Structure 1
Amino acid sequence: MQALPRSLALLCLAASMLLVGSYVALTKPLALVFPVMLLAWLRFGIGGGAMLHWLRKPAGEPPMTPRTRWLLFLESFFGNFLFTLCMIAGMRLTTAVAASVIMASIPAVVAVLGWLILRERMTLRILLSILCAVGGVALLALARGNGAANASAQSSWLGYVLLFAAVVCEASYSIIGKLLTASLSPRRITALINLWGLALSTPLGLYAAWQFDFGAVPPSIWLLLLFYALAACMGSVWLWMTGLKVIPASQAGVFTVMLPVGTALTGVLALGETLNAMQGLALGIALLGVLMATLPGRTQALPPVSS
């Protein structure tokens, strides 16, 4: 199969994180209606039904090794299952402002893990783009949270730890995904890790479903659940894996800054929130980081970590 052009791969990465940011913002109504584990189980179930035809092994794809099977489990456990639990639990113990600042560290964590685990060479320009991305989203969070200083001061340190654990899970998802794209197609990776997510969430999901009144759920919530499941399980994952097949993980990690940016934009466009000058500046700085990471050019590279 012909390799995807670099420009299209970069577009896939950006679209994936914008999609994640949008469905994170739009799932607030779902979390108010469904228990956490039931919501996760329904998500993976709907996504799995839509991707059954993606489970078939392509003709030219090599058989999966035990290492590949193990990586698929880890990808789903960290990127799907554990990330969701840590994020929800962390949000309950701290503030949205603190969460945004902590989540802004995802690009840096991805780059460091890519340097340590994948032995990727990290350029000075990528380092500068990471600083722009982290600084921009941190400024965005602080600009949105001027009125939440008292609540932030009372936030639990356990919440901070859980949120950073979610950051590590998301970064691990990017690194493991890069390893998987060397032997599996993006579609098959997407379908298989969703299948693991369904298996992990089924026991507690069935327990929650047994006590839940499905008849009380309005049609608008069911439509939102359908969008959430297809975007979270299918669209965003396939786009991310497609981009990772071409782009180094350290560079792709910069695009995770689009997650909180996408959430902020969705809040403005769909939820009626306002965007002031400081917030606009923060978004501009974050996008500058993405631009620095994607423009072609020669830059001195940092040496990889020795084995």
Structure 2
Amino acid sequence: MSLVGSYVALSKPLALVFPVLLLAWLRFGIGGAAMLHWLRRPADEPPLSRQTRRLLFLESFLGNFLFTLCMITGVKLTTAVSAGVIMAAIPAAVAVLSWLFLRERVAPRVWAGVACAVLGIGLLALARGAWASAGEATSLAWLGNLLLIGAVLCEASYAVIGKKLTGTLGPRRITAIINLWGFALTTPFGLWLAWDFDFRGVPGSAWLLLLFYSLAASMWTVWLWMTGLRSVPAAQAGVFTVLLPISAALVGVLALGEHLGGLQLLAFALALAGVLLATVPSRAALRMGGASRR
């Protein structure tokens, strides 16, 4: 999630060079070329069932395609305050969906971690709002807020479906297949936009940034997320999505020259406390682990 937030922040210059859907198409194409060898089915893995194929499509459609469109378009239409507050709901949305669809028991400590995460990013959003000009809001801010709520649900669905998939498929194969679906979904738009796009006018630095963005967004982060989901409940993993807006803000401060004040530092502390609450083993768990080793 830290890496996701980093490439989201660093992809801002790319969005100024490439149209959003062309950028998405190039991302999936470059990422797919880098992991063609991950598509091969291992000998110990069962053939894809109809349900697994359906889940793989939904994972890509919701987590890759719709999330990107909702997030980028939503942020353009609304204010930084609204975007930060709404995206702070991702951990809670993951916990609720995992309880509803995976029948996971969400421990009180995880709910407390979710609450800290939401409060921390809410404070961060309010702090960022102090820098935002009043002119950021548009007459379509309500639509932007709805799109951001859609992005929250897409990201939460991505975590829950990913947990389901890791029960039958390996992380590398999941990563490669959902990227292939993303490439298929964006190809009609990508080809149409590429027809009139002046690729010769793209500077070399943008191509290097595109390479990093493609490998990070399509390959590295997805593989790390799916690997972690194999051994961590979805509700607990969802708390880590708090690191997405945190790392994006830190990259903005360190690489893009934005200001960091006391309220932002308090927000980071609360959010990280939420992660610790949800992930550090309890005393009972440590005692059980020690007993099992003996």
1:48 match: 32
Aligned to 1:84: 68
Equivalent positions of 1:203-214 (< 5 A) are 203-214=188-199
The structure 2 residue matched to 1:219, chosen from 183, 204, 222, is 204
- From 144, 160, 172, the equivalent of 2:157 is 172
Give the counterpart letter for 1:189 in structure 2.
I
Change (3 A) 1:149 1:218: closer
Aligned residues: 283
Cα contact 2:63–2:158 (8 A) shared by 1: yes
The more displaced of 46-55 and 82-91 is: 82-91
Output the CA distance in 2 between the equivalents of 1:108 and 1:285.
15
* CA drift at 1:149: 6.8
Q: Which residue of 2 aligns with 1:159?
A: 144
Distance 2:31 2:71 in 1: 21
Alpha-carbon distance, 1:84 to partner: 0.6
Match of residue 102 from structure 1: 86
Partner residue in 1 for 2:290:
none
Residues in 2 aligned to 1:65 and 1:22: alpha-carbon distance in whole angstroms: 35
* 2:227 paired residue among 232, 236, 242: 242
CA distance in 1, matches of 2:214, 2:92: 28
Q: Deviations over 1:219-273 (max 9, x none)?
A: 0000000000000000100000000000000000000000001101111121122
Contact 1:20–1:232 under 8 Å retained in 2: yes
Equivalent residue number for residue 122 of structure 2: 138
Checking the alignment, whether the CA contact within 8 Å between 1:101 and 1:141 is kept in structure 2 is yes
Please say if residues 95 and 152 of structure 1, whose CA atoms lie closer than 8 Å, have aligned partners that are also in contact: yes
- Partners in 1 of 2:20 and 2:224 — Cα distance? 25
The structural deviation recorded for 1:281 is 0.7
Structure 1 residues not aligned, in runs of 5+: 1-16, 300-307
Distance verdict in 2 for CA 1:296–1:157, change over 3 Å: same
2:18 counterpart of 1:34: yes
Equivalent residue number for residue 303 of structure 1: none
Q: Is the 8 A contact 2:3 2:216 kept in 1?
A: yes
Q: CA deviation at 1:92?
A: 1.8
Q: Residues 77-110 of structure 1: CA distance to partner in whole angstroms, max 9, x if unpaired? A: 0000010111122112101221111101000000
Equivalent pair of 2:78/2:137 in contact (CA under 8 Å): no
Q: Report the residue type matching 1:157 in the other structure.
A: W
Q: Which amino acid aligns with 1:247?
A: V
Evaluate the alpha carbon distance shift between residue 146 and residue 204 of structure 1 in structure 2; reply closer, same or farther with a 3 A threshold: same
For the residues of structure 1 that align with 2:172 and 2:84, how far apart are their CA atoms? 30
Question: Counterpart in 2 of 1:25?
Answer: 9
Check conservation: 2:93, 2:156, Cα contact below 8 A. yes
Match of 1:256 among 217, 238, 241: 241
Q: TM-score, normalised by structure 2?
A: 0.94
Q: CA–CA distance in 2 between the matches of 1:213 and 1:150?
A: 35
Indicate the residue corresponding to 1:302 in structure 2: none
Residue by residue over 1:156-195, the C-alpha shift from the partner in whole angstroms, topping out at 9 and shown as x without a partner, is 1111100000000000000000000000000000000000
Q: Could you tell me the percent identity over the aligned residues?
A: 69
Letter in 1 for 2:130: N
Matches of 1:149 and 1:119, distance apart in 2: 44
1:148 Cα shift?
3.1
Normalised TM-score (structure 1): 0.90
Off by >6 Å, runs of 4+ in structure 1 = none
Partners of 2:102 and 2:7 in 1: how far apart?
A: 30
Equivalent position amino acid for 2:17 in 1: V
Amino acid of the residue matched to residue 171 of structure 2? Answer: P
Q: What is the deviation of 1:145?
A: 1.2
SS in 1 for 2:43: coil
1:10 is matched with none
Which deviates more from structure 2 when the two are superposed, residues 233-242 or residues 267-276? 267-276
> What residue identity is the alignment partner of 1:99?
A
2:44 to 60, 68, 92: 60
Partner of 2:268 in structure 1?
Answer: 283
